Chains A and B, each alone.
Chain A
Amino acid sequence: MAGILDLDLVAARDALRAREISSTELTSAYLSRIEATADLNAYITVTADKAQAMAKASDERLAKGEGGGLEGLPIAVKDLFCTEGVLTTAASHILDGFKPTYESTVTGNLWSAGAVMLGKTNLDEFAMGSSSATSYYGPPVNPWRGAQDSETRLVPGGSSGGSAAAVSGWAALAATGTDTGGSIRQPASLTGIVGMKPSYGRCSRWGIVAFASSLDQAGPMTRTVHDAAVMLSAMAGHDPKDSTSAAEPLPDLEATLDSGVKGLRIGVPAEYRVDGMPTEISEIWAKGIAWLKDAGAEIIDISLPHTQYALATYYIIAPAEASSNLARYDGVRYGLRVDGGSLDEMYANTRGEGFGAEVQRRVLIGTYVLSAGYYDAYYRKAQRVRTLIRRDFDEAFGKVDAILTPTAPSDAFAIGANEDDPVKMYLNDVFTVPASLAGLPGLSVPAGLSARGLPLGLQVLGRMFDEPMVLRVGRAIEKAATFTSRPAMLEGI
């Protein structure tokens, strides 16, 4: 079994096309692995029967020499994507029993490309968090353990923590994530996998449970940069059903992947050297800079002066949009209903019981900053600072082709840590939020291990719609880093 699970997405694709393995065989191996790793709590729902049926159909197509870009490849879906007839929870009590009667555009694209659906992965409730511990279904667990402390269970990051745990624990070949302020990149960093947030507008948001609509973006979580390029190619595309979906044509992402970085200008922003940054984070960053330099890139010091205001800006804009989006959970149309004496009481009881603590905090903050009298003071102000943050990037990208930063300010922390103070948890996204506010593409690539033996990622940022550049620089880092470490749980399988 280990042999077949050892294949990454591209290797499995090629082996399927060469008929060296079958999708049924590959899918069965992953379904067994999902059972064996149930302790990771990576999945909320496993769709074994559906997976087997899809695998069989893929094998029939492959036998005829047909099939799409992801034909026969078993993939997990963050439980924020609506999947027709399959429980979709957003890890919230308030969506109890919700089975959408439609399919999200992104997952629809994956199935059209031939992918096989393994199930729906765990996450922070409504994707609000950086640990995935706010899930109504209990926290997913990072497959990695500290070298000196193999007992403590660590978070896989968040909000796409179940997807990250599944991919790094080999309980999925790849998975979809969504990223609003870092929810693909930070978990990728904490679990030693590749995670990409494309430019805002690349992937349709239609059928994805909405959190903050001006920021939400779907992307791939995979073992390699090449895998991410292949998976994103299938996920992305213009969709008339999402009016913010970009008509921009997606270039061939595989074609330029190995073009190298010789002659490219790579920006290193001074403002990302934040106070109290652990030495090992600055060290891995310095290594990344050296790798790119050795590969022929020109390193350029740049300034993004409004970086320090990005988190505060985000924590006005995201809750404001969330409070508006989450108004739809009213106990009338889907999910949980908790009765009350009047219609208003029924709303309040349903939402009071259905939403967890962090979601309630954000709904209340959002309601407050949008309320009469405070809209200009908070929301408008944040939108103006957002303009300045975007301008910083626009100016920087006049001088450089890509930007290199750390992905997260620390390695994986213990489940239950950082929960005493909501702001402490928010600081996890300090390096990822600025690019989210600016709408830019970002990629996290595993670069090395911390002193505790846990993975650390580096982040590559690019110009709007310049995914090829981001992947190309990411591939160069991946090549130089030769990150081959695996969680101890994968030994001997």
Chain B
Amino acid sequence: MFVWNGLYPMSLDKATVASIATLARLRVPEDRLEPMVADLNAILGFVEQLNQVDTDGVEPLASVTGHSLPQREDAVTDGGYPDRVTANAPDGGNGFYAVPKVVE
């Protein structure tokens, strides 16, 4: 298991950015990779200042309203119009989406 040592990595290299791009399903052409590395390192360098803040024992904030999420009956409340749902598909028809062949 990864245990954070309290320090941010100083900077990302090209190979790491290329692998993040793969995770994000984002094609970054070779000639754009180098400037992207510089930009991302500038941003990570900027956010590194959070290291200075003592957050021991501080709960993370995920909701600002303080409201608990509402519950509703587990019932179908919508649907039954596949043509409307798929109306904007770049490829498909008859209520289906078409994608490149996935299974040989």
Question: Chain A interface (Cβ within 8 Å of chain B)?
Answer: 97-101, 199-201, 214, 240, 243-244, 246-247, 306, 308-309, 311-313, 315-316, 323, 327, 330-337, 339-349, 351-353, 355, 360-361, 363-365, 367-368, 371-373, 376-378, 380-388, 390, 421-423, 426, 437-439, 464
B10 CB within 8 Å of chain A: no
B88 CB within 8 Å of chain A: yes
Q: Are B39 and A422 in contact (CB under 8 A)?
A: yes
- Min Cβ gap A171→B in Å is 29
Docked pose: A19 CA to B88 CA in angstroms: 42
Q: Are B26 and A386 in contact (CB under 8 A)?
A: no
Interface string of B57-70 (1 = CB under 8 A from A): 01111111111011
Q: Are B60 and A383 in contact (CB under 8 A)?
A: yes
Q: Are A368 and B40 in contact (CB under 8 A)?
A: yes
Docked pose: A368 CA to B21 CA in angstroms: 9
Q: Are A333 and B61 in contact (CB under 8 A)?
A: no
Residues in B with CB closer than 8 Å to A311 are 46
Docked pose: A100 CA to B91 CA in angstroms: 16
**B21, B26, B67, B102 — most chain A CB neighbours (10 Å):** B26
Residues in A with CB closer than 8 Å to B86 are 333
- What residue of chain B has the Cβ atom nearest to residue A326's Cβ? B24
Q: A346-B100, A385-B55 in contact; A312/B49 too (CB < 8 A)?
A: yes
Docked pose: A100 CA to B66 CA in angstroms: 32
Q: Are B61 and A349 in contact (CB under 8 A)?
A: no
Residues in A with CB closer than 8 Å to B22 are 348
Q: Are A364 and B53 in contact (CB under 8 A)?
A: no
Residues in B with CB closer than 8 Å to A331 are 90
- Min Cβ gap A388→B in Å is 6
Q: Are B72 and A384 in contact (CB under 8 A)?
A: no
Interface string of B27-69 (1 = CB under 8 A from A): 1110000001001101110111110110100111111111101
**A98, A327, A341, A368 — most chain B CB neighbours (10 Å):** A368
Helix, strand, loop or mixed for chain A's interface?
helix
Q: Sample 6 A-B pairs with CB under 8 A, ordered by A number.
A: A331-B90, A337-B91, A345-B100, A364-B24, A387-B58, A437-B64
Q: A381-B55, A422-B42 in contact; A201/B65 too (CB < 8 A)?
A: yes
Q: A309-B49, A336-B90 in contact; A387/B102 too (CB < 8 A)?
A: no
Docked pose: A377 CA to B9 CA in angstroms: 10
Docked pose: A423 CA to B50 CA in angstroms: 15
Q: Are B26 and A351 in contact (CB under 8 A)?
A: yes
Q: Are B53 and A367 in contact (CB under 8 A)?
A: no
- What residue of chain A has the Cβ atom nearest to residue B66's Cβ? A464
- Min Cβ gap A439→B in Å is 3
Docked pose: A101 CA to B102 CA in angstroms: 29
Residues in A with CB closer than 8 Å to B84 are 101
Q: Are A373 and B2 in contact (CB under 8 A)?
A: yes
Residues in A with CB closer than 8 Å to B47 are 312-313, 315-316, 378, 382
Residues in A with CB closer than 8 Å to B100 are 339-343, 345-346
- Min Cβ gap A238→B in Å is 10
Interface string of B1-30 (1 = CB under 8 A from A): 010100010001000010011111111110
Docked pose: A100 CA to B40 CA in angstroms: 33
Q: Are A364 and B60 in contact (CB under 8 A)?
A: no
Residues in A with CB closer than 8 Å to B55 are 381, 384-385, 387-388
Interface string of B71-92 (1 = CB under 8 A from A): 0100000000000111111110
**A214, A343, A360, A437 — most chain B CB neighbours (10 Å):** A360
Residues in A with CB closer than 8 Å to B21 are 348, 364
- What residue of chain A has the Cβ atom nearest to residue B78's Cβ? A241
Residues in A with CB closer than 8 Å to B67 are 201, 244, 246-247
Q: Are B42 and A421 in contact (CB under 8 A)?
A: yes
